[in-house]
Amino acid sequence: MTADPGDRSGLRILAISDAVSPFVYSSNFPDNLPPIDLILAAGDMPGYVLEFLATKSTLRPLYVLGNHANGYVRDPDTNETRLPGGCINLHRRVIEHKGLLIAGFEGSPRYRPGEHQYREWEFERFAWQMAPALRFNQWRQGRAVDILLTHAAPVGPHAGEDYPHRGVPAFNRFHARWKPKLHVHGHVHLNGANAPRQYVTEDGVTVINAFEFTLIDWPLQANTTPQPNHNP
């Protein structure tokens, strides 16, 4: 159920990817949006935007890099490229943040030479390497993970029809094994007024495309489905 903008009984997540929205990269941010509790960046978001969000708010954006590798910034002192400051890179990690267990994988399926692109067996290996932490969460907290953050989409309605934007089967297996409630991704652009931003898998995972930006209400009720409450 979508929460009323004034309802603070749960967490509100700002999810972004792929295209810089003037609502987000704005001198009025964050006051031009409803109050937010968490920022998730699902890849191909310029590093300067991530640093801007960290600077303008009291939040540390959690992010993964996309296949275009534009998430880096150039250090003004050393002139070297580096990851954005004030942010948390989630690639191949599962962390607890604001009471939520969040895991992440960067990049896309490999379709040409270049960084931040992976073969299916590599995505599968990343997931298996994360398994000890996920099992520990299950033992300690009764659940492995709440949110999966990736750049690429899983196999399903959000996967692109072309080869570079094909879905990642390893993410579907991650759904079946670890049961996240929410999967936020980017990589596939939303085109047209009726482009579907979300769907629910047969494993009960709500999959949301963060293209440009969307606000997601994370309810405190255990069996309530997270929903986007704003689609640009």
User: Is the confidence at residue 195, as pLDDT, over 60?
Assistant: yes
Q: What is the pLDDT of residue 6?
A: 43
Q: What is the pLDDT of residue 223?
A: 53
- Reported confidence tier of residue 148, pLDDT bands at 50, 70, 90: very high
pLDDT, tens only, 30-53: 999 999 999 999 999 999 999 999
User: Is the confidence at residue 230, as pLDDT, over 70?
Assistant: no
- Between 80 and 148, where is the model more confident? 148
CA 174 to chain centre: 15
Its pTM stands at 0.91
Angle at 43 between CA 3 and CA 193, to 5 degrees: 55
CA gyration radius, the chain: 17
Buried b (16+ CB within 10 A) or exposed e, 13-41: bbbbbbebeebbbeeebbeebbebebbbb
Amino acid at 85: G
- Reported confidence tier of residue 225, pLDDT bands at 50, 70, 90: low
Q: What is the Cα–Cα distance from 225 to 38, expressed in whole angstroms?
A: 17
Share of the chain above pLDDT 90, in %: 81
Taking residue 128's Cβ as centre, other Cβ atoms within 10 Å add up to 11
**In the structure encoding, which two tokens stand for residue 228, read together?**
């986007």
pLDDT, tens only, 119-145: 999 999 999 999 999 999 999 999 999
Tell me if 86 sits within 8 A of 51, measured CB to CB: yes
- Reported confidence tier of residue 114, pLDDT bands at 50, 70, 90: confident
Which among 82, 81, 80, 38 is positioned nearest to 63, based on CA atoms?
A: 38
pLDDT, tens only, 200-222: 999 999 999 999 999 999 985 55
DSSP string, 10-79: SEEEEEEESS--TTTSSTTTTTTS---SEEEE-S---HHHHHHHHHHSS---EE---TT----EE-TTT-
- Reported confidence tier of residue 1, pLDDT bands at 50, 70, 90: very low
End-to-end alpha carbon distance in the chain: 19
Count, residues in the chain: 232
Q: Delineate the domains of the chain, giving CATH numbers in brackets.
A: 11-230 (3.60.21.10)
pLDDT, tens only, 149-192: 999 999 999 999 899 999 999 999 999 999 999 999 999 999 76
Q: What is the Cα–Cα distance from 49 to 72, expressed in whole angstroms?
A: 10
**In the structure encoding, which two tokens stand for residue 169, read together?**
């089967």
Q: What is the Cα–Cα distance from 177 to 154, expressed in whole angstroms?
A: 14
